[in-house]
């Protein structure tokens, strides 16, 4: 058995792998058996997935097992060192499981199986399933892997809605995609875990405090109804509303920065109200409704929700759809559209969740992560949602049908 572990603090490189020893072993076995890549994230079925892929390798199906964690952050971002260290611990644990399972294999079945681990994608921002697939496919090509095996509970970026588009995007590559046939936890177990722990306590405290803001904390009846309401909210929403356990000093600092952000948002709402009112009352001023797309760097979950709702609360703009890290926003005025691309609210959202250093990142205009989808200034065509959740260009599809033998053209917005 060969065991090679890359430094998880960097994207995988050829220098991090002992090419003279493990590489020769992989090449020797790859003539008859393929190499498999297994993306990993902490999940209830990760251990069972590792056991399944090791069993397949000992049965002669694979010559090398590559366990990779795809970074949902970028090196140098606030908190990236802690997340890299956590990824390193996950990869070390996975390799230890694989090594133990190979040692327990009957006879010498696991002696010629190479085990490799790596953290990939930390040198760039990854926004959606296509970006994840590009990184995964590049890694597979570099290591002559032709199979990707997915944990059925694998949720990259902590986003459960990304797994199905990831499988769909992988199916458009030359890689063979499989899902480990392992058991999933029952729903009652998951619901019980959602109603316990630090997240439950944090959600309970926030819900009760908000209830008292609306009610009277000195009235006994408000205490009874407040506690009951907070308990119900915490049981049902503690894992949905919070994507990570509150921690010190991260959570208190976010609350402080959020308190600073509230008057800023109110000011932006006031200014936008005055501008929109002036344009409506003065027929000489332009009204140019358009749909716009901008790719934002705020992370997923709560930060993305905060930014999307902040944009919607500001008159003149409405967040129509959030797809991965792309926000589709309808703007009423050119002024509102330009303000979106200048990234003021995006900077403040990064400040709230990641601190001042994150607020200095380039704006969507500076990064080129924006597009106008309608009107004379349009820079991209307005995508039409397909049934599978992707985007399809209708004119291209009709032209393809007419051509007969031409390849199908699919445009992912």
399 in any annotated domain: no
Could you tell me if 168 and 218 lie in one domain?
no
Could you tell me if 221 and 151 lie in one domain?
no
Buried b (16+ CB within 10 A) or exposed e, 368-403: ebbbbbbeeeeeebbbeebeeebbbbeeebeebeee
List, as one string, the DSSP characters of 59-86: TTS-SEEEEEEE-SS-TTSTTHHHHHHH
Could you tell me if 29 and 104 lie in one domain?
yes
Tokens of 6: 């890359």
What span, in angstroms and rounded, lies between the C-alpha atoms of 156 and 132? 9
Could you tell me if 212 and 351 lie in one domain?
no
| Domain final position from 199, 223, 241 | 241
75 in any annotated domain: yes
Could you tell me if 157 and 117 lie in one domain?
yes
176-179 and 147-150: which strand pairing? Answer: parallel
Helix (H) or strand (E) holding 77: none
Question: What SS3 state is found at 374?
Answer: coil
Helix (H) or strand (E) holding 177: strand 176-179
What range does the domain containing 216 cover?
Answer: 187-241
Could you tell me if 258 and 234 lie in one domain?
no
Could you tell me if 377 and 271 lie in one domain?
yes
364 in any annotated domain: yes
Could you tell me if 8 and 139 lie in one domain?
yes
110 in any annotated domain: yes
pLDDT tens across the length of the chain (413 residues): 444 444 433 433 343 334 344 444 444 443 457 889 999 988 888 888 998 999 888 888 888 999 999 887 777 777 778 888 888 888 998 988 888 888 777 656 656 888 999 999 888 777 667 778 888 889 989 988 889 988 888 876 544 445 556 777 777 888 888 888 887 554 444 434 444 577 788 888 889 988 988 888 888 999 999 999 989 988 887 767 666 667 777 778 888 999 999 999 999 999 999 999 998 888 888 788 889 998 888 876 778 889 999 999 999 999 998 876 788 999 988 899 999 999 899 999 989 988 888 788 888 888 888 889 877 778 887 765 433 344 444 344 343 343 344 333 333 33
Question: What SS3 state is found at 360?
Answer: coil
413 in any annotated domain: no
326-331 and 370-372: which strand pairing? Answer: unpaired
Place of tokens 């559209």: 337
Could you tell me if 308 and 331 lie in one domain?
yes
CATH number at residue 108: 3.40.50.620
Could you tell me if 272 and 366 lie in one domain?
yes
Q: What is the CA radius of gyration of the chain?
A: 25
Residues whose CB falls within 8 Å of the CB of residue 287, separated by 6 or more in sequence, listed in order: 279, 280, 332, 333
Place of tokens 């049902």: 236
The number of distinct structural domains making up the chain is 3
| Domain final position from 157, 179, 201 | 179
65 in any annotated domain: yes
Tokens of 308: 């999307």
Tokens of 328: 């589709």
Tokens of 206: 């926030």
410 in any annotated domain: no
13 in any annotated domain: yes
Could you tell me if 288 and 320 lie in one domain?
yes
Whether the predicted model's global pTM rises above the 0.85 cut:
no
Q: Are 237 and 230 in contact (CB under 8 A)?
A: no
């Amino acid at each position: 058995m060969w065991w090679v572990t890359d430094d998880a603090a960097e994207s995988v490189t050829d220098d991090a792998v002992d090419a003279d020893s493990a590489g020769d072993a992989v090449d020797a076995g790859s003539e008859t058996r393929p190499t498999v890549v297994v993306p990993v994230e902490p999940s209830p079925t990760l251990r069972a997935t590792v056991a399944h892929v090791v069993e397949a390798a000992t049965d002669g199906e694979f010559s090398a097992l590559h366990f990779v964690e795809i970074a949902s952050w970028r090196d140098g971002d606030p908190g990236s060192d802690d997340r890299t260290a956590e990824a390193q611990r996950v990869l070390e644990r996975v390799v230890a499981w694989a090594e133990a399972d190979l040692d327990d294999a009957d006879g010498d079945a696991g002696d010629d199986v190479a085990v490799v681990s790596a953290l990939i994608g930390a040198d760039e921002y990854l926004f959606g399933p296509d970006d994840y697939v590009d990184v995964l496919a590049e890694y597979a090509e570099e290591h002559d892997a032709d199979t990707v095996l997915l944990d059925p509970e694998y949720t990259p970026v902590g986003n459960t809605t990304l797994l199905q588009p990831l499988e769909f995007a992988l199916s458009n590559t030359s890689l063979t995609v499989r899902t480990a046939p392992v058991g999933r936890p029952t729903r009652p177990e998951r619901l019980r875990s959602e109603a316990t722990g630090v997240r439950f306590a944090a959600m309970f405290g926030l819900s009760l405090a908000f209830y008292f803001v609306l009610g009277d904390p000195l009235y006994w009846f408000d205490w009874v109804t407040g506690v009951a309401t907070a308990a119900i909210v915490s049981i049902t929403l503690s894992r949905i509303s919070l994507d990570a356990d509150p921690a010190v000093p991260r959570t208190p600092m976010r609350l402080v920065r959020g308190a600073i952000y509230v008057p800023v948002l109110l000011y932006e709402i006031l200014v936008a109200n005055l501008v929109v009112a002036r344009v409506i009352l003065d027929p000489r001023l332009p009204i140019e409704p358009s749909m716009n797309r901008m790719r934002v760097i705020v992370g997923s979950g709560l930060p993305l929700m905060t930014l999307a709702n902040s944009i919607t609360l500001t008159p003149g703009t409405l967040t129509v759809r959030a797809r991965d890290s792309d926000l589709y926003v309808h703007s009423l005025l050119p002024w509102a559209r330009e303000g979106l691309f200048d990234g003021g609210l995006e900077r403040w959202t990064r400040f709230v969740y990641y601190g001042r250093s994150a607020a200095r990142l380039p704006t969507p205009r500076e990064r080129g992560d924006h597009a106008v989808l309608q009107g004379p200034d349009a820079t991209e065509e307005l995508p039409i949602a397909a049934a599978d959740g992707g985007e399809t260009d209708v004119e291209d599809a009709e032209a393809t049908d007419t051509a007969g033998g031409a390849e199908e053209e699919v445009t992912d917005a």
